[in-house]
Each structure stands twice: as structure tokens, then as C-alpha cells.
Chains A and B, each alone.
Chain A
């Protein structure tokens, strides 16, 4: 297996007036060619920021303050804006959670798609238009030729999302970072889009980082899952293991919160409390204030990822055997 991208000890800080928000805390992850990795976790845990940091598009005042991102033998975290521009949207594409980050509201989608194709590929205008129509058809936009002259606000939420997916596919990238790519899509189109991404991974050896809240989707599509909490990876392992045999109390709480797990009750199981403010993190384990199985040590020390027999890595003193004598 050939490594496609290797993220080592990545740290991202936002220096705000009120203090420094550390949104990504020493995250290490690697993805092989053709591999599909899922990232799940609490809202605000740093999933999108992690995605942005890979393509060097963190919004100000965010900055990578430590770590490396090795892509094709180069540490792209140190790349300049211009160096990165050649990779972004070409070798690495990101499908943003907010479609309007990709789409310019004052340009028709035809203009925007043509621009992308013409910037990265050596084709005539006619061929470029053909590519655009082909990709729009792939993401199930009906009458694409009529739609090219429309503006983003004239599309439904899900259509905008599909257009963004079509744009990300225009240049046949090696890695796609898909941040909640199907939240606005109905399940039939979601299934088709996931099929499409899956096929690209298999046939083109494309790597996929799928950031999503939908545990069922992530369990169907990805091979491994990383669970993020307050900027840290708290559990990492094979998707099947994470879903059927979750180890970290946060992951367990997450799966228990699904409507299917309410066991006929009206009220859903929620994890009590909320994620700590990144400005005011507890001294020990970030999940400790909400944890029902914590011990004194959890208040004092931050647990690091340790591998269990099942191959799953978990950052929890109660689970990784560190507490057994």
C-alpha cells in the first residue's frame, strides 16, 4: 500500500482577542492511495479546520503552528500560496461544507466551471464545456445545458451541493476531502453520489477523506474512521470496529444517540453537557467533564492514543489498559 498523504502532529491555532483557540491538537493521520477514511466527531471539534489545513486554506487568523503534511514526498504545509494553488483544485480537491465557499454568487455556474477546467487543463472551450456537462450529469443535475447560465441562488440547497461536487471532480484529483458532501441531499441521490465517489476510489485509486455526521453513511463508505473530539483524535480504527465495538466513551455516546438506539422511547439518548470551549480546556482528558466512567487520573493527565488488541487506537485511560495494574 502506497501512502498518499501523511499528516504528522498537526496543530492549528486561531489567535483571537480573547485568547488562542487550538482547533487541531497534534493530529496524526495517514491515508493510502485509494483508501477511504471517515472523520466524525462533535460539531466544532475541528473537522473542517483539519480539512482546510490540508489544502492550506484556513481562514484568518488560523495558522498551522506545528506538524507536517507530506503529499508526494513534499511537506505541503510549508508551501506558499502560489505553490499550493497548483495542487489545490487540481491534485487535491475539497468539497466544502458551505457550498458558497466554492461558488461565486455573482457568476453563473457555467462560467465558474469553465474557469476551473481552463485553468488546470489544456483543452478548448468546446471540450471544456463538454467536460462540465458530463460532470453535471454525473451528479444528477437534470437539463444541465439549461442550468449552466443560472446563478447559484437559483438552485436548491442540494443542487448547489451537487454542483460543488461536480466542480471538485472536474480535474480528476488524487485526493478528495469531502466535508459533509451530502447533508443537503436526499437518500437516493446521496446513495448515487457515494457510489460515484466509491467507484472513483476503486478505479482511479483516488483517496477520500469523508467528513460527516452521518454514521450510517460513514460506515457504509469508509474503511477506517477517526473520531475527533475538541481537536484531538480520540479513537481511530477500522470502520466496522468503530461502529460495532466503539471503545471511547464519546464514540459510544455518539452511537447511542442515534434514533435507532432509542429503543422505542420518544426521547433520544444525548450525551450530557457540552464540549468544552477551546479557549478554556480542562487540564486532563477533554471528555472528562462529560464522562461517566472517568477516574481521578483523567482530570490530571491527557490520555494519548494507544492500540488495543482489536487494532483500534483509543485515547482513554479506562480503555487502553493503562489503568490496569
Chain B
């Protein structure tokens, strides 16, 4: 089967040095120009198969949203290519990108910022339908919108209300409705259930899984809730400091985590009735994407670190189980 989406060797960096004058620094009697760059995504290669749910997990700030936004064409990658069903989309201008906008939708992480405060819910949901299906009649559009509102559990009587009149979770459901309403093939969902109580979370996840089954939808799913990730994912990619450190099927990853970071991450999953503080504590400095370590991204905090880890970036290693891991320790058989 050929991939629906191929991400090849992608970098996304942000220059945060400010204006030209801010960049000038006086050092040793000389004026030098200094740039500060956040290396949010580095050398990411990933393919997403049609009909699967590929989840990305990892530390806050490790570049998950940036990767999703780059995939969606909202950021231009500094390096590498992104292809949708074999066609390169990373260098398209907004007009050429239009046909892909119907097929690819994104649910943004921040439901507060992503809804236009001057539009009521009906306008928010009707606009994309009208835009992408100019030949639908008014009543067809209305019917489509009401249907989706019911599916995500937003009572259609609220249609004339504005975003600020809703609770966090209600807004999040409206953003999900907005992605589903245009009937896409691919959805990048960035923390789509973070603000939802578990019963509505269950309702939304069931809805996403049903839609996947019926229409063969493909998801790129970002979530910090690892029990949800375990439940719905086909495969899981673990990111650390902009790099993918492990990629495996959900079953393999949760039953047999390989990378030391994955192991630390899984140990911190809160448990019903558990006690706080039982997790693997990562010692060492919290890493910064501004000064990337020269070797393995995790080397500063890894309990198994050695000289080589600090010098050399580990290559992606394919294991017998089919998992992919980037770790010198595993390659050398030390871990």
C-alpha cells in the first residue's frame, strides 16, 4: 500500500533573534551579529498509511504541533519534502494548496485561539462547507451542519451563540465539527480531546473511530493522554527535541518500549488510585531546542549515556519487531 502522506527528512526552524539591531552584540571589542534559532523539528522522516491512526507523543515543546502545522502547509519546512498521495505539497502557494485543503483538515490545539470570535457557531461551521462545496443549496448546508453538531454533542440550539459563550470543551467540539464538516480524507488532530471530560472524550473518540471505519479516514493524532493514544492508535511515533526517537505499533510500544525516553515517558502515566511521584525522574538539564546537543538529543538526560552518545547523532535502526529506534545503546546491545 502506498502512503497517503510522506514526510521526508524535514527540518523546521524558527529564527527568534528579533530585529537586526537586537542581533548585534559586542564581544571582545568587536560587534558581531548573533542569531538565535529554535530548532523545533529536525530530520523527521515518517510515512502515514491510508486508514491508519498515527499518533505523535512526546515532551511539551518537542515540536509535535510544529510538525503537524508543517505537514498541513501552514509552515514551510527549512529542509525536506512533504508529499500527499505522491504529490509534493510543501512548496505550494496558497492557491495551489486549495484542493488539498478540503482533503486535509486540522483540529488546532488551542480551541480558544482557533475560532473566529466574531462569527457565531453556525457561521463558523457553514463557511467551510460553502467554500468547499459551492454547489450545495442553503438547506443542504444547514442539514450537514446540524448533523455534525449533533455528532460532536453540541446542541443545535446553540448555533447562534459566539465562541466566548462556550466552555473550553464545548469550543473544542466546535473545532472538531469544523474539521469533520467538509468530509476530509486526512485529519491532523492536535490535542483534540485535551479539554474534554472523559464521557465526551469517549463520545468524540468513538465518533472519530466510526468515521475512520466508514470513510477510511486517516489521522495524525497528537495527544498527551497516553491511555487514549494506546487505545486508538495503529502506530505511535515518540518525539524528543524535534527528532523521532522511536516508532512502533501501539501494541509493541506500550508493551515493550525500547528507547530510554519512551520508557521514562510511559512510567509517568498517571494511574487511577495511584500515587504521584512513582515515575522515572529524568535528571540532567532540561534540553533546549535553541542549543541542540551535538550527539543524541536525549544524551543530556539519558541514564545509559556514554561518550559516543554525546558526539554522534544516532541513526534510525530497524528492529526485528518492525519498530524503529534511534539509540546507540540499543544498536550496541548495551540496553
- Residues of chain A touching chain B, judged by Cβ–Cβ distance below 8 Å, are 16, 40-45, 48, 59, 97-98, 100, 140-143, 146, 149-150, 154-159, 161-162, 180, 183-191, 194-195, 198, 213-217, 219-221, 240, 243-244, 253-255, 257-260, 262, 266-271, 274, 277, 279-280
Contact A188 B209 (CB under 8 A): no
Q: Are A97 and B195 in touch, CB under 8 angstroms?
A: yes
Taking Cβ atoms with an 8 Å cutoff, the residues of B that contact A are 14, 16, 18, 36, 38, 57-62, 65-66, 109-110, 112-113, 153, 155, 157-158, 164-170, 172-173, 191, 194-203, 205-206, 209, 224-228, 230-231, 264-265, 268-277, 279, 282, 285-288, 290-291
Cβ-defined contact, A157 with B109, below 8 A: yes
Counting from the closest, the 7 A-B pairs by CB-CB distance are A43-B169, A158-B60, A268-B202, A142-B288, A216-B270, A259-B231, A257-B202
Evaluate contact between A183 and B195: CB separation under 8 angstroms.
yes
**Chain A residue contacts of B206, Cβ below 8 A:** 267-268, 270
Pair B61/A44 contact, Cβ less than 8 Å: no
Q: Judging by beta carbons under 8 Å apart, are A240 and B168 in contact?
A: no
Across the interface, do B60 and A162 meet the contact criterion of CB distance under 8 Å? yes
Chain B positions within 8 Å of A97 at CB level = 168, 195
* A-side contacts of B291, CB under 8 Å: 143
On whether the beta carbons of B202 and A269 are closer than 8 Å, the reply is yes
**Interface residues of chain B: helix, strand, loop or mixed (majority):** loop
A123 to B157, CA, bound (A): 53
Known: A40-B197, A268-B202. A185 touches B224 (CB 8 A): yes
**Shortest beta-carbon distance from B224 to chain A in Å:** 5
Known: A143-B288, A183-B195, A254-B197. A48 touches B168 (CB 8 A): yes
- CB-CB under 8 A for A270 and B57, given A157-B110, A188-B279: no
Contacts of A184 in B (CB 8 A): 60, 109, 191, 194, 224
> A143-B291, A185-B224, A259-B230 in contact; A159/B61 too (CB < 8 A)?
yes
List, in ascending order, chain A residues with CB within 8 A of B158's CB.
Answer: 277
Known: A100-B113, A266-B209. A185 touches B60 (CB 8 A): yes
> What residues of chain A lie closer than 8 Å to B165, measured between beta carbons?
16
Of B16, B18, B226, the most chain A CB neighbours within 10 A belong to B16
How far is A43 from B36 in the complex, measured between Cα atoms in Å? 41
Smallest distance from the beta carbon of B253 to chain A beta carbons, Å? 14
| B270, A187: Cβ atoms closer than 8 Å | yes
From the candidates B14, B172, B224, B271, name the one contacting A154 in the complex (CB within 8 A): B14
Complex contact B14–A186 (CB within 8 A): no
Complex: how many Å from CA A162 to CA B290? Answer: 18
Residues from chain A with Cβ under 8 Å of B199 in the complex: 42, 253-254, 257, 270-271
Taking CB atoms, residues of chain B closer than 8 Å to A156 are: 60-61, 65-66
Which chain A residue has the least Cβ–Cβ distance from B264? A188
B168 with A195: CB separation less than 8 A: no
Pair B209/A260 contact, Cβ less than 8 Å: no
B residues near A157, Cβ cutoff 8 Å: 60, 65, 109-110, 191
- Shortest Cβ distance from B62 into chain A, in angstroms? 8
Q: Are A259 and B227 in contact, with the CB atoms below 8 A? A: yes
Nearest A-chain residue to B270, judged by Cβ: A216
Q: In angstroms, how far is the closest chain A Cβ from the Cβ of B117?
A: 12
Closest Cβ–Cβ distance, residue B102 to chain A (whole Å) = 26
